[in-house]
Structures are given as C-alpha cells and as structure tokens.
Amino acid sequence: MIHGAEIVRPIQPYQASKTYRCPGCESTIPPGTGHVVVVPEDAPDLRRHWHRGCWYKERRRRGT
C-alpha cells in the first residue's frame, strides 16, 4: 500500500464538537478531547481523526 503525503492538523479541545472513532485503537474520541486529524493530500474526503498517542504509535509503526 502506497501512502501519499498526509497533512496532520492538531484539533484543540474546543474544536472537537463531535465523537470520532480512532482507527488506531478502534475506540472513540469524545467531544472536547484534543486530538489530530490526518488528511491525505490526494483524498481529503478520507480524513481520519486519531488520538494523539495512537497517531504517534502509527507513525512509528510505519517507520516515518
């Protein structure tokens, strides 16, 4: 699987107004929780919300 460039944006607690599901741990990110959103540059519709810790782990796993 080829990963294109991704834009990682921090979401501040006050910006998090919905519940998201983190693809890293399959649990939810409740509203009001700071996290990150990862947006593939060539497919912005596929953006995913991650816990900060889960995203860092994912990056280590990918070796980037």
Residue 39's Cα: distance from chain center in Å? 8
Q: Supply φ then ψ for residue 63, to 5 degrees.
A: 75, 35
Nearer to Zn ion, 36 or 51 (CB): 51
Q: Which residue from 56, 49, 58, 46 is spatially nearest to 9, judged by alpha carbons? A: 49
- How many Cβ atoms from other residues are within 10 Å of residue 63's Cβ? 5
Region binding Zn ion by CB under 5 A among candidate stretches 3-11, 17-25, 38-46, 55-63: 17-25
Applying CB under 5 A, among 16, 35, 49, 51 the residue interacting with Zn ion is 51
| Contact flag: residue 22 with Zn ion (CB under 5 A) | yes
| Contact flag: residue 11 with Zn ion (CB under 5 A) | no
Q: Which residues bind Zn ion (CB under 5 A)?
A: 22, 24-25, 51, 54
